[in-house]
Amino acid sequence: MTLVKAIREGLGGKGKLASAIMLFCVPLALSFLAGSPLRSGLHAAFDRYPASKELLNGGGLDLLAETGLRQPAFWAAGFSLFLPMLLFSLLLGLWAQAGAYSLALPEAAENPWRRIWPAATKLLPKFLLVATLNAILWGVVAVLAAMPFAALNFRFKENTDPGPGWHLFLAEIVALAIFWNIASAAGGCAKAATVLRIGGGNVAKSYLAGLKFSLRKFAQVEAMTWGFFALRLAAFAATVLAFPIAVTYGGAVMKWLLFQMAIFAMAFLRVAEMRSQVAYLAGSQPEPAPVKEEKAPQPAEVEVLSSASL
């Protein structure tokens, strides 16, 4: 299967809406869960200050920077649940991805709303193992790749000219983006292989199959990953950055709604990327050899002797 055909299949088919809504609800739910303790921290830090009313009108940022960040109540109430929320967000994100990948299969086109919930729950342990293997592998690669940059940083530390330091910093940002994209593409192919049960249902074999595929089809997989990333970035920029920053309550509400539209568009494109990965990996698998039907040996014909021959 060609890459263009795989992307066409990823953009089409049934089940995209259910998967997009599932991915959209994850950051929305996490924002409300994380915003509740942060809101309590802001009230605990600023309610007793009369100047805090300026924050409601879009001003008073100097108060937030100089006073709020030094308040122990703000840090204690706002970020006390940071680590549990981070772990919960990772599990919830993997669960949503498992449901979206499961609907990429052709047999899941019927009744997607009914299939997505049990499929996501069933695939969550496997996706958690795939994410762990991917983090360990690319974590080791990241440490090895960061060694030359660390040596260059140490070399330019005593340099009075800031030019080489800034150039090195930009090179590190570009290298980090490329590395993150490669690791993300490898993880996506591994999840697609897990859904397709390549490797007989063994998660380790499925991960290795997806990793080999992402490296064997490196140019095509990277083009697809970077292409969908550019589309998501363009959707975000067109929906949010094209409008001025809101300084009133009504403008803030409109800005929030536009931001949610951007998140949903990005979730829809992410679902299309997942479906394209599954279609491309499934179409690149060798077709099973046809099974030859062997005819059963025919019983020997028994000559029936007639009474006349006897």
CB 116 within 8 A of CB 18: yes
Residues 204-210 have a mean pLDDT of: 90
Q: Which residue has the higher pLDDT, 226 or 52?
A: 226
- What is the average pLDDT across 113-126? 88
Given a cut of 60, whether residue 181 has pLDDT beyond it is yes
What does R_g of the chain's alpha carbons equal in angstroms?
28
pTM of the model: 0.74
Distance between the two ends of the chain, CA-based, in angstroms? 70
The dihedral region occupied by 289, where left means phi > 0, alpha psi between -120 and 50, and beta the remainder, is: beta
Higher pLDDT: 214 or 161? It is 214
- Token readout for 254 is 């409109």
Closest among 250, 256, 189 to 27, alpha carbons compared: 256
- The Cα–Cα gap between 171 and 181 comes to 15
More confident residue, 231 or 158: 231
Residue 82 amino acid letter: F
Q: Are 130 and 206 in contact (CB under 8 A)?
A: yes
Highest mean pLDDT among 21-35, 144-158, 226-240, 242-256: 226-240
CA distance 223 to 6: 12
d(CA 221, CA 134): 16
| Half-sphere exposure for 55 (CA within 13 Å, toward CB) | 17
pLDDT at 22 over 80: yes
- Kindly report the number of other CB atoms within 10 A of residue 262's CB atom: 18
- What distance in Å separates the CA atoms of residue 272 and residue 9, rounded to the nearest whole number? 9
Only one residue has tokens 């440490």, namely: 143
- Taking each helix axis from N to C terminus, what angle separates 82-102 and 249-283, rounded to the nearest 10 degrees? 50
* Residues 3 and 220: beta-carbon distance below 8 Å: yes
pLDDT digits (tens, 9 = 90+) for 44-72: 666 666 555 655 555 555 656 555 556 66
Number of H helices, E strands in the chain: 11, 0
Residue 28 has pLDDT above 60, yes or no: yes
Helix, strand, or coil (residue 6): helix
Select from 85, 175, 194 the least CA-distant residue to 129: 194
Query: Is the per-residue pLDDT at 288 higher than 80?
Result: no
In the predicted structure, residue 216 carries a pLDDT above the cut 80: yes
Q: Is the pLDDT of residue 148 over 80?
A: no
> Does residue 310 have a pLDDT over 50?
no
Higher pLDDT, 206 or 292: 206
Q: How far is CA 275 from the centre of its chain?
A: 12
Mean pLDDT of the chain: 77
Mean pLDDT of 283-292: 64
Query: Residue range 121-130: average pLDDT?
Result: 91
pLDDT surpasses 80 at 95: yes
> Which among 100, 106, 104 is positioned nearest to 120, based on CA atoms?
100
Comparing CA positions, the residue from 89, 23, 34, 29 lying closest to residue 232 is: 23
